[in-house]
Structure 1
Amino acid sequence: MSQSTPVALVVFNRPHLTEQTLAAIRAAAPQQLFVIADGPREGRPDDEELCARTRALIDTVDWPCEVHRRFAPRNLGLEANVELGLDWVFAQTDAAIVLEDDCHPDPSFFPYVEELLERYRDDPRIWQVSGSGMGVPERLFAGDSYAFTAWASVWGWATWADRWQRHRAIFTRDHAPSDAPVRTLAATQQPGHLVTRSGQQHFADAAQSGDTVIHGWDKHWWLTMLTLGGLALSPSRNLVENVGWGEDATHGAAAGKRDHGAGAMDFPLRHPAEVAVNVEVERELELVLSRVGGRAAMFARRFVKSPQVRRVARVAVNSRPAQAVQRFVSRSRDRVAS
């Protein structure tokens, strides 16, 4: 049975990953597929072949589907390719599921997202439906299928055109040389949405930073949500696995690193009783963000050059005892602050 929500597939030069993600999309059989393909980089002759092979895979779409192609003739870079590509998508459809080439979804991801897009279509408080659980323990959801959070992963996600267009009216970066300010509304944080000091500091840093590796297009999307009080939906189970680790990854090449595996969501979905930030789930998400992109992680990337040392440190920081200490410190800070 085909699904009605269009899928936007973001690709570049990784045909081996694109082929696997396209196979998952084929199983869902969306009626519309939007393909956002970046172009080859100058001075990288291998890109010519890899980009061509990646784009050729789109010609293998063999289910009833209207395929829309946005193939950049030259390399735009990740930031421009995604932002301008989604502008193009949401000029043509009122909602879409977004998958990058390295985000491999469980089959249940598609009906899960489609149901929630329909349920919250007319609720302006909800801005994003995420398929990645980021390893948050399922017990924190208290039996619900998802939780309301201040932000959520974009490793397999969805939104509506009006939310994306509202974001772009505020975050006006057009990737052309210009002296005009990018954000027309200063980034702020709604009280109670971010629940840890590290999370609040992280997004405060992102609002001031020009670093598009640590604070890319997704951080700017979340900053708009935080400013306007928008909420995301985070799943109780990880429905999408990011497999894009390695030498061909745009942001980081952590050989041997793995995301949490994708599993199936149970139906019928169990909805939270009220629209409010789940503090415990939000805390876990912010602690994940701190481990990956916090000040300590940024310091390590800048000054620890040995891949072996960084790998050992990453394993230690992500160990269960270290995470338990993080949770204890975070809760203690909250009690002191209150």
Structure 2
Amino acid sequence: MIKMELAPIILFAYNRPIHLQKTIENLKNNTLAINSKVYFFSDAPKNESDNSLVKEVRNLLHQVKGFREVEIIEQSNNKGLATSVIDGVTQIINTYEKVIVLEDDLVVSSNFLKYQNDCLIKYKEKSDVFSIAGYMPPIQIPNYIEDDVFLIPRCSSWGWATWKDRWLKSDWEVKDFQDFIKDKEKQKMFERGGNDVTAMLVKQQLGVIHSWAIRWNYAHFKHNAYCLYPRFNKVANIGTDGSGTNFPKEVKKYITSITERDYHLPDNLFYDASNEVVKNFKKFYNVSLYRKCINFLKYQIW
């Protein structure tokens, strides 16, 4: 393992104690957990019906052991996931310069923390790498491709890491949105990692959705930057069962197994749009013609 100062872990929780318990127990199995500091951000209940679940979550958090240090931040007012992530990551990254971020519905491989910390050290000076993904969608990777990591023009929100100098470049208001939405060439470039992202950004700016991830993804695009994805998936989302903010209905498309296999991190990284992995990645996230028509009718975006 690369010699390093371990990045702090940030874990966001709301009202799913059962999922959270699985996430924590799984994370504790990581080889670097005992040497890592973890910050738990617990959002306040949005309504009275969530009071008991939030209380259960907080009781659970106060019993957590197995890490070098645990700090719990309990919000007094409900922020929602997007604001919680933006504010929480900004708060911690201003102190530590780098962070590893999880939510309360993710389980990870036992070498997830090692992988993230290795990448944070290895590629700290590679300014066009804005973030490190732990999740790799179930796409086809041809056997002739030997790489263990890939630069992809799309960020991941499921078990990821970043550095302070990259995070602070994100414009959460997307001030140039009006210029972007008139420029088809920019939209085409933005959609190199999937043709769903422009519609998501439009919905975000209209207030239809409240997503930190699509704005973070836009920051990657604005700065000609990439997310580094692992060949061997290290994250599984157990919240696609209909219990979460982003998945109110069960979704099986994203299910893929976790791999404990080791990895090689090359000294040099290159983005290759012709790479079959990059092509298959885009296909995985591309929306259907039907969905594109719906988006056009609702938001006048193709």
**TM range, smaller chain:** 0.7 to 0.9
Q: Percent identity?
A: 22
SS at match of 1:139: coil
Tell me the residue number matched to 2:300: none
State how many pairs are aligned.
Answer: 285
**For residues 259 and 205 of structure 1, do their structure 2 counterparts lie closer, same or farther at Cα, with a shift above 3 Å needed?**
closer
Distance 1:160 1:203 in 2: 23
> Is 1:83 the equivalent of 2:86?
yes
Bigger helix share:
1
Tell me the residue number matched to 1:239: 234
Tell me the residue number matched to 1:183: 175
Tell me the residue number matched to 1:13: 15
Distance 2:75 2:97 in 1: 23
Distance 1:206 1:12 in 2: 23
- Where do 1:1-338 residues align within 5 Å? 4-28=6-30, 29=33, 30-42=35-47, 44-45=48-49, 47-139=50-142, 142-167=145-170, 170-171=171-172, 173=173, 182-183=174-175, 189=186, 194-195=191-192, 199=194, 201-209=195-203, 210=205, 216-255=211-250, 257=252, 259-271=254-266, 274-279=269-274, 280-291=276-287, 296-297=290-291
SS at match of 1:218: helix
What's the offset of the Cα at 1:125? Answer: 1.0
What's the offset of the Cα at 1:16? Answer: 0.4
Unaligned runs of 5+ in 1: 174-181, 304-338
Unaligned runs of 5+ in 2: 298-302
Distance 2:201 2:251 in 1: 31
What's the offset of the Cα at 1:64? Answer: 4.8
Distance 2:232 2:206 in 1: 31
Aligned AA (2:246): H
What's the offset of the Cα at 1:75? Answer: 1.5
SS at match of 1:91: helix
Distance 2:252 2:132 in 1: 25
Tell me, yes or no, if the aligned pair for 1:109 and 1:264 is still in contact at 8 Å.
no
Distance 2:123 2:220 in 1: 15
Tell me, yes or no, if the aligned pair for 2:13 and 2:104 is still in contact at 8 Å.
yes
Aligned AA (1:157): W
What's the offset of the Cα at 1:213? Answer: 6.2
SS at match of 2:162: strand
SS at match of 2:169: helix
What's the offset of the Cα at 1:6? Answer: 1.1
Larger mean Cα displacement after TM superposition, 155-164 or 213-222: 213-222
Tell me, yes or no, if the aligned pair for 1:112 and 1:265 is still in contact at 8 Å.
no
Tell me, yes or no, if the aligned pair for 2:132 and 2:160 is still in contact at 8 Å.
yes
SS at match of 1:69: strand
Distance 1:41 1:101 in 2: 17
| TM-score, normalising length: structure 1 | 0.74
What's the offset of the Cα at 1:212? Answer: 5.7
Distance 1:273 1:91 in 2: 28
SS at match of 1:21: helix
**For residues 34 and 295 of structure 1, do their structure 2 counterparts lie closer, same or farther at Cα, with a shift above 3 Å needed?**
farther
What's the offset of the Cα at 1:191? Answer: 8.3
Tell me, yes or no, if the aligned pair for 2:38 and 2:67 is still in contact at 8 Å.
no
Distance 1:158 1:31 in 2: 14
Tell me, yes or no, if the aligned pair for 2:133 and 2:160 is still in contact at 8 Å.
yes
Tell me, yes or no, if the aligned pair for 2:149 and 2:228 is still in contact at 8 Å.
yes
**For residues 195 and 62 of structure 1, do their structure 2 counterparts lie closer, same or farther at Cα, with a shift above 3 Å needed?**
closer
RCO higher in 1 or 2 (8 Å CA, sep ≥ 6)? 2
SS at match of 2:286: helix
Distance 1:298 1:72 in 2: 38
